[in-house]
Amino acid sequence: MTLAQAWIRAAALAACVLPAQAAGMPGAPDTRIPVAPEARLGKLENGLSYYIRKNAQPEQRLELRLVVKAGSMQEDEDQLGLAHFTEHMAFNGSRHFRKNELISWLQSIGVKFGADLNAYTSFNETVYLLPLPTGDKENVEKGFQVLEDWAHGLSLREDDIDAERGVVLEESRLGKGPDQRMGRVLLPRLLNGSRYAERLPIGKDEVLRSFKPEALRRFYHDWYRPDLMAVIVVGDIEPDEAERLIARHFGGLKNPAQPRERLEVPLVAQGKSGVLLATDPEASSNTLALCYPTQLRKPPQTHGEYREQLLQLLFLGVLGERLAGRTGGAAPPFVEPDTGFSQLVGDYVNFQLAATPGQDGAAVTLAALVQEVERLRRFGINAQELERFKKIYLGQMERADAERDKAWSAGYAQGFVAHFLHREPLAGAAYQLKLTAGLFPGITLEEVNQTARRILDPSQARLLIYTGGEGKPAPSAAQLLAALETAQNEQVAAQEARLLPASLMAARPSGGRIVSERVNPVLGTTELVLGNGVTVVLRPSDFQNDEVLLGASRFGGQSLYGDDDFRNAYYASPLTMSMGMGEFAEQDIPKILAGQNAAINFNIDELAERIDGSSSRRDIESMLQLLYLSMRQPRMDQDRFHAFVAAQKESLANLHLDLNSYIFQQMNAVLFHDHPRALQHTPQDMDRLKLERAHAIFQERMGNAQGFTFYLVGSFDTEQVKPLLASYLGALPVQALPEQARDRGVRPARGVIKRELRKGSEEQGIVLLSFRGEAPYSIAARTALEALVEVLNIRINEVLREQQSLIYSGYASGWLDERPYQNYGMVFYLPCAPGNADKVMAAIAAEARKLQERGPEAADLEKVKANWRIGNRQQLRDNGYWLNQLMAARMEKIDPELFLHFEARIDALNVADLREAARRYLDPANHVELVLKPEKTAGQ
């Protein structure tokens, strides 16, 4: 996704509140973009702003936000990092909640710390996120009390502050590494020596270790005040009730008698062009960026300003498409191109062109990027491109409008946050669609091209930035400047306009028919059997207004291919999909489908094959055409094959330098005795990939519908889709082929294995524990293991983070599988200071012993159940969940109605079940311990 695409999606999110219909749009250029009547905006006498919206999705859920216009830019010299530290202290004691009591209470009502309850601090703001179930009104009242305490009731006790220092320092430590080291070089220049470069939100370690509690209290007193705050309430609540609660909890807040002035710090644009090189031997990727001058982004407030934004979006979409087209040759000059306006800090942005250099180096990459810029600047975009991107953007807005009453409350809340902080418009999807549809016909090709020429003006001061690591020689500043000058003066031709058909297929396949039909009234499904033997299960729903999902799966996968061939199977699907289908190259397909919402994806994993598709209601046939052509007419393109290999090599080249990738790779190597099926792929592996063989495997496994049951879930009419399904799916070939996955005999090592690894130069440590083995499979046993994992994550947060300050974040994960043999796995990933690795392992071992001896605390198990109940009720209103559950039931040959009774399984879980699971799966005599520490220096 290009930055331009990301921008329009972000704009749609920020403007997602419904308006009334506007008469006479688009209107005069100075017509103000309105705020939707469904959004209630107000301000208390003390200056506190509030935003309220009643919303039904998800049901019985409320999203609360406290937004404070204070971040690291408001810190004094003795407070560097204390804006962020204050955010941490919001969870460490307040007027109505003792330390850890808040998190414990929220977990007891089903709110998970980190995943649901969270906060963040940036340069100019701090935002607290609090989702609440509304089934109990007392929870709502208490939730507003939490926000009030955050606003002016934090305890900030000295002992609590000292206890939290270790956690914040751990967070700071996690951010150290090659990116941070290169950032020290980049940021002062990129931010042009401004205060922003000196006020990174994480702060400075020396301040975090030694600051006086009074400095933290001073920050809280100075900046947490009502005239700098907003309270946001979205969800299952009456607006009048929300307004009453806001007034009661926040109306009494007072501003300081002499409030400090909150200064807006400008970010001055670069005065002259230059080159900035930042390399690091541990960097795992290389990037080249051409950055245009910094500018202050002003969200549109009028129709005229919105029109200017559309002009930019149109040319940016075309430029992104053209750059993507340069990645398809046999030796592409770059991979993963990205272009658009990139946010730097606050409201400041700059236009950037960025890419990962190809095999010929950064100078060739720069030349290719600039050639496309010059082509667009000199000749502009063409009429076909303009109309295509008008269709694309209108299609995106139509889909947002169609789902406006099914949008989740968190999206509306984020839109309110953006309005308070950045003045993003709150017109809503319907207004935005109508305004855009009214403006697009009047937007001419010349206007768009004038906008492009203005933004891409080569006379502006531009900054060339190269970051990279080992594996490729870094370019010199002189080489890059020479490549830039040569490319700007090179002769380029106008983009060729190609005439493409209006659809992927001229006619539907013929011959398909429905031979039987069966209805399941409990599940609401209709099962069709087609003339070729293919089974299709339909489950219409009202969960979304315009979402249709398709899926199919069967056993087989890479396991059917030997150790010398499985990589061809691994890459068969992504490679084949990158080459296109039928008569169309991959880059032609989105052009033909411009404005439509239809996608298909194929995957061949270790044990199974899977097909996934999605579309809007009106584009179901296009989705089926993508499916049909992919299965019947996959293309083979030698140039695309070489481009695919080059891109994969680039992504794999320095992956071993990433500490997380490295330690998991080492874990697999130790566990599975360096078995090739368990190891991460390397660039050398890509040299063994064979186009003809990978293509043949795709045709063998995906060109044959034998054993697939297709599922269609979503907002469709059953009678209307039947002829389409019969025509396309009924025309798929069905031939005998092996369907069952093979057990290749890959088994984990047994016993206790301990390894110390050395990697990197920073004080970075990782403890990775793995418990693997055979165990009997059942749904009840799997549920108990998953509950055990959730309890362990609660304990990791409470013990390792809150009590002992050993980590900032870490997690446990686990699974119980039936194939290829009945087996379990549990993994603990715990980043920590290298010197604390033994303490971390001891703490985990102690928690495991407690669970094995006594089981979990009943309260912890109830927290897990509460969160699962909320999650389950939300999932039962989700098309993807229904699709996956129905498919899994068919694959596993279990009762398809079983997932409807998940809450009964939750209720049946008890402490003894988890104690037994801990004894079975946390075997102290059978696990692997890896501890990663930095490499020893010569001095050591």
Note the pLDDT of residue 802. 94
Average confidence (pLDDT) over 669-686: 95
Closest CA to 804 of 747, 771, 847: 847
314-367 pLDDT, tens digit per residue, is 999 999 999 999 998 889 999 999 999 999 999 999 999 999 999 899 999 999
Q: pLDDT (tens digit, 9 = 90+) per residue, 732-786?
A: 999 998 778 999 999 999 999 999 999 999 999 999 999 999 999 999 999 999 9
Q: Is the pLDDT reported for residue 937 higher than 50?
A: no
Res. 28 pLDDT band, cuts 50 70 90: very high
Q: Which residues contact 897 (CB under 8 A, 6 or more apart)?
A: 522, 523
pLDDT in tens, 864-883: 999 999 999 999 999 999 99
Q: Is the Cβ–Cβ distance between 829 and 843 less than 8 Å?
A: no
Quick one: pLDDT at residue 771? 98
* Gap between the Cα atoms of 33 and 39, Å rounded: 14
pLDDT of residue 19: 31
CB atoms under 10 Å from CB of 817, counted, come to: 14
**Domains along the chain with CATH numbers:** 40-250 (3.30.830.10), 274-407+416-489 (3.30.830.10), 514-731 (3.30.830.10), 752-933 (3.30.830.10)
CA dist., res. 827 & res. 825, Å (int) = 7
Residue 381 has pLDDT above 90, yes or no: yes
Q: What is the pLDDT of residues 404-462, one digit of tens each?
A: 999 999 999 999 999 999 999 999 999 999 999 999 999 999 999 999 999 999 999 99
**pLDDT band for position 193 (cuts 50, 70, 90):** confident
Asked if the model's pLDDT at residue 17 lies above 70, the reply is no
> Where is 160: in which H helix or E strand?
helix 158-174
- Could you tell me which of 748, 733, 897, 885 has the C-alpha nearest to residue 827? 748
Contact call for residues 438 and 26 (beta carbons, < 8 A): yes
Task: Say if residue 269's pLDDT is above 80.
Answer: yes
CA distance 531 to 522: 26
Q: Which residues, other chains included, contact 460 with Cβ-Cβ below 8 Å and sequence gap of 6+?
A: 292, 293
Which pLDDT belongs to residue 25?
Answer: 72
Q: What is the torsion angle, in degrees rounded to the nearest 10, for the CA atoms of residue 582, residue 588, residue 591 and residue 593?
A: 20
User: pLDDT band for position 14 (50/70/90)?
Assistant: very low
Across the range 665-694, mean pLDDT stands at: 95
Task: For 590, list phi and psi in degrees, rounded to 5.
Answer: -65, -25
Mean per-residue pLDDT for 719-723?
97
Which pLDDT score, from 0 to 100, does residue 22 have?
35
What is the per-residue pLDDT for 511?
77
pLDDT score of 441: 96
What residues have CB less than 8 Å from 20, skipping those under 6 apart? 34, 36, 37
Whether the predicted pLDDT of 23 surpasses 50? no
How many CA atoms, within 13 angstroms, populate the side-chain half-sphere of residue 270? 23
Question: How many residues are present in the chain?
Answer: 940
| % of the chain with per-residue pLDDT over 70 | 97
What SS3 state is found at 294?
Answer: strand
Is the per-residue pLDDT at 663 higher than 80?
yes
Q: How confident is the model at residue 847, as a pLDDT?
A: 98
Q: Which two tokens stand for residue 304?
A: 């005229």
Write out the H or E segment, with its range, that includes residue 364. helix 362-379
Question: What is the model's pLDDT at position 26?
Answer: 80
Statement: residue 114 has pLDDT above 90: no
pLDDT on residue 18:
29
Residue 216: pLDDT over 90: yes
Name which of 537, 531, 647 is nearest 586 in CA terms. Answer: 647
**In sequence order, what are the beta bridge partners of 634?**
581
Task: Please write the tens of the pLDDT for every residue from 614-661.
Answer: 999 999 999 999 999 999 999 999 999 999 999 999 999 888 899 999
From CA 601, how far away is CA 613, in angstroms rounded? 6
Is 938's pLDDT higher than 50? no
Q: In this structure, what token pair is assigned to residue 593?
A: 């489908």
pLDDT computed for residue 5 by the predictor: 35
Structure tokens that stand for 540 in this block: 């219409």
Please name the residue that has the structure tokens 């939490």.
146
Q: State residue 12's pLDDT score.
A: 31
Q: 410 near 63, Cβ under 8 Å? A: yes
